[in-house]
Structure 1
Amino acid sequence: MIRETIEEVITKPTKRYLRRLGLNTLFGTTRTKEILHVNPTIIPHREEAREVRAYVYDFDASHFEEHEFNAVEPCYRFRHSNRISWINVDGLRKADVESVCLHYEIHPLLIEDILSINQRPKMDEVEGVLFCLLNMLYFNDNAGTVEQEQISIVLGKDFVISFQEDASRDVFNPLREKLKLASSKIRQRSADYLCYSMLDLIVDNYFSVMEKLGDRIEDLEEQVIHNSNSRSLARISSLRKELIVLRRNIIPVRDLVSGIIRSESDLLDDRTTKYFKDVYDHIMQAQDLVDNYRDIMVTMQDLHINNVNLRMNEVMKVMAIVTCVLAPATVIGGIFGMNFDKIPYLHNDNGFYIAVLLMLLIPVYMLWLFRKRGWF
């Protein structure tokens, strides 16, 4: 107890001074803690959403309805509408999630996954429904970080339910616009095609995030090549952390889509399988791109270290040349400064000028010799 108190007394002033100097921001230690401190054995504590918004899109080839509710209960009447229903719940509350899942006969294990935090993307088939959990990614231009929002998608017979954490943003606006068109494929197909469209938009948005991150990597590469400094190393470290976030979210989605393709669920139409294969191709391309970015960052870090070593070698070279050039003058001055009565040219009228001339000519000759041999 005493040890912990002493550590707190020492650590708090240190953190305060680091914040004043801006070093925490420079090296991104807080971001490292956010990325790496994930313990699946600890029961997560999720804050209840202040408000819940439920959006219902009920449609078939000839009919379309769009509704917005402040509670989840009004959505229940679409359970047996004989059309396809997409229920999008923005904002998670435990009571609301349990109520929706109870009404649509969704297994309690899936409720735990929906309410989880920092869950690994995955796909499950439990008691007649197909469950997908993954993250939507966004790029924060101000902070230069990749932000993630967990989304759970439940595919059942003639319905799709999606649970989102953040009600202010998602990537489904193009899908909403297509639903309003009677000629769109989504209106002509079953619920599994709607699920495919949602996954396709999420995966396609990964490329938008990677494009913005790629622009920053390109700018950083120019900086490292032309003007590498300590901030360059900090930016390299920061971007590598964001690549960790990308890789952590992208690679499991590959397994998720692969599981859907291999699934023999009655909820999946054979005609839709080829569309999921297209999503699989996209996620593989995204994984290759992330791996390429990571290789570039490793090369960039090596380049930065080589530049630092090169500058250090240049400095050491200059210092060595200066030392060598001053060595003759030091030797001559030391010889004529010895306390002896008899030293050649000691009492000569031109002795001083001869010594100074030697001190100048020998370094000039040495510089010429170094230059001729290409030492600098």
Structure 2
Amino acid sequence: MPNLPKPRFGRPVRARSRGIPPARHEPESETPNVEIVEAPGLRWINIERPGQLERAWLEENFDFHHLDYEDVYSRNQRPKVDEYDDYQFVVLHFPRFDKTVGRLNAAELDAFIGPDYVITLPNEPIQPLEYLFERCRAREDVREKLFGSGPGYLLYKIVDDCVDASFPMLRKMGNKLERLEDDIFEGHSEAIVRDISNVKQEIINFRKIVRPQRTALRDLERTKRYVAEDLEMYFDDINDANERIWDMLENYKEVVEALESTNESVISHRVNDILRVLTSISVVVLPLTLVASVFGMNVHVPGEGDVEAFWVVVLVMVAMLGGMLGYFRHRNWL
């Protein structure tokens, strides 16, 4: 495998984003976005959103399998762990909330692990990864602690931070479910149908990310490539955390389905109450309408033209109304 050239510290993309123009002899289109943090015996190379320039740089400096390069630049790659004679290739997915579209998507992290290097290639910005990289770059003590135990421990720390970042998302999701439960019984059941649907979609997307990764993390735990014997339990901790995430998602799935069923029951019960009242009014008014229709026909009827007969009819109708209302109240229909 060719040796790496002397690493150049710096983040060209971020420097340009702050308004610092690139050097004239290094046009932006010809400068690969490669960031390197180095310690004795180990390098961490981070390439965010790799493109053709970054691929050319990797192919020039490393002898990776061409299928791995295809996996890095392909979309919708399943999580997996591939082992080779002199390096290990890992593909993992982590949840990331995309504010532009307002939904939860998967951010893919591809990683090459060798005896003296760790290369991370996220296809989207992953906040825990960026934060850890900045800490390693800014603080020598953090760099010595993470890099001093070899590439296996650095890989563990990267994956562990990215997995742990799911727990705050799950807590927010749990808070949403609690608020939805309160809104259902406060009379807002019709208005929260869309909210329930949105939370349900978030849970489905989260499960689609975590489910295939469970197998990859178990494979990563079994391989323990470039991991010292006293660090073997660390990858088991990652697997346990991922299983806790899956258990929480299973619980949330059951909760949101129960909330959806409860909300539908509340709406149905409210509609039934309205229909019961309207039906009772119709049944009560129907006999009165019948009596009024009979005495309003354009034919001779008993008491026609008699004022006393009119009041008798009115009293009969009032008595019928009172009797029917009393009967309905007795049967708990009103």
TM-score by length of 2: 0.82
The corresponding residue for 1:226 is: 186
**Residue 227 of structure 2 is aligned to residue 268 of structure 1:** yes
The answer as to 2:176 corresponding to 1:196 is no
Candidates 336, 346, 367, aligned match of 2:325: 367
| One-letter amino acid of the counterpart of residue 77, structure 2 | Q
Aligned twin of 1:173: 131
Letter in 2 for 1:371: R
Please list every run of 5 or more consecutive structure 2 residues that lacks an aligned counterpart in the other structure: 1-28
Counterpart of 2:209 (choices 249, 267, 274) is: 249
Alignment-derived partner of residue 197 in structure 2: 237
Higher mean alpha-carbon deviation, 178-187 vs 245-254, is at 178-187
Which residue in 1 is equivalent to 2:255? Answer: 296
* Counterpart for residue 69 of structure 1: none
Q: Which residue of structure 2 aligns with residue 80 of structure 1? A: none
Alignment of 1:1-376 (within 5 A): 52-60=32-40, 83-140=41-98, 144-166=102-124, 169-174=127-132, 176-177=134-135, 180-181=140-141, 185-263=145-223, 265=225, 267-341=226-300, 343-346=301-304, 348-376=306-334
Distance 1:183 1:167, change over 3 A: closer
- 1:349 Cα offset (Å): 3.8
> 1:116 offset after TM fit, Å?
1.5
CA apart distance, 1:149: 2.2
Distance 2:203 2:299 in 1: 72
Distance across 2 between alignment mates of 1:114 and 1:367: 76
Which AA in structure 2 matches 1:193?
Answer: Y
User: Given that residues 139 and 145 in structure 1 are in contact (C-alpha distance below 8 angstroms), is that contact kept between their aligned partners in structure 2?
Assistant: yes
Structure 1 residues 140 and 225: CA distance shift in structure 2, 3 A:
farther
Alpha-carbon shift at residue 55 of structure 1 (Å): 1.9
What amino acid is the match of 2:107? Answer: E
Secondary structure of the 1:91 match is coil
Contact 1:57–1:86, Cα closer than 8 Å, also in 2: yes
For residues 30 and 288 of structure 2, the distance between their equivalents in structure 1, rounded to whole angstroms, comes to: 81
Q: Could you say what the CA RMSD is over the residues aligned between the two structures, in angstroms? A: 2.6
Q: CA deviation at 1:132?
A: 1.6
Q: Sort the Cα spacing of 1:183 and 1:103 in 2 relative to 1 into closer, same or farther, 3 A.
A: closer
> 1:119: how far off?
2.0
Q: CA deviation at 1:88?
A: 0.6
- Against the structure 1 CA distance between its residues 231 and 123, is the aligned structure 2 distance closer, same or farther, given a 3 Å change threshold? farther
Structure 2 contact 196–256 (Cα < 8 Å) conserved: yes
Q: Which amino acid in the other structure matches residue 367 of structure 1?
A: L
Contact 2:224 2:232 in 1 (8 A): no
User: Aligned-pair distance for 1:305?
Assistant: 1.1
AA at the equivalent of 2:271 = M
Deviation at 1:340, TM superposition (A): 4.6
Query: What amino acid does structure 1 have at the position aligned with 2:35?
Result: Y
The secondary structure found in structure 2 opposite 1:209 is: helix
Distance 1:313 1:239 in 2: 28
**Counterpart-to-counterpart distance in 1, 2:31 and 2:102:** 29
C-alpha contact (below 8 Å) 1:136/1:149 kept by paired residues: yes
Asked whether the 8 Å contact 2:83–2:89 carries over to 1, the reply is yes
Name 1:22's counterpart in structure 2. Answer: none
Change (3 A) 1:315 1:50: farther
Structure 1 residues 239, 167: CA separation in 2 closer, same or farther (over 3 Å shift)? closer
The sequence identity of aligned pairs, in percent, is: 24
Per-residue CA deviations over 1:264-310 (Å, capped at 9, x if unaligned) read 64x23332220000000000000011111111111111112112211
- Whether the 8 Å contact between 2:34 and 2:47 is mirrored in structure 1 is yes
1:269 is matched by which residue type in structure 2? A
Query: Taking structure 1 as reference, are residues 206 and 119 closer, same or farther at Cα in structure 2, changes over 3 Å only?
Result: same
Q: Work out whether residues 45 and 119 of structure 2, in 8 Å CA contact, stay in contact via their aligned partners in 1.
A: yes
Query: Does the 8 Å CA contact 1:172/1:201 hold for their aligned counterparts?
Result: no
Structure 2: which amino acid aligns with 1:326? V
Q: What is the alpha-carbon distance in structure 1 between the residues aligned to residue 127 and residue 166 of structure 2? A: 15
Measure, in 2, the Cα distance between the counterparts of 1:182 and 1:216: 36
Secondary structure of 1:350's counterpart equals helix
Q: Could you tell me the TM-score, scaled by structure 1's length?
A: 0.73
Q: Deviations over 1:191-215 (max 9, x none)?
A: 1000000000110011122222222
Partner secondary structure for residue 138 of structure 1:
strand
Alpha-carbon offset, residue 314 of structure 1: 1.0
Which residue of 1 is the match for residue 12 of structure 2?
A: none
SS in 2 for 1:163: strand
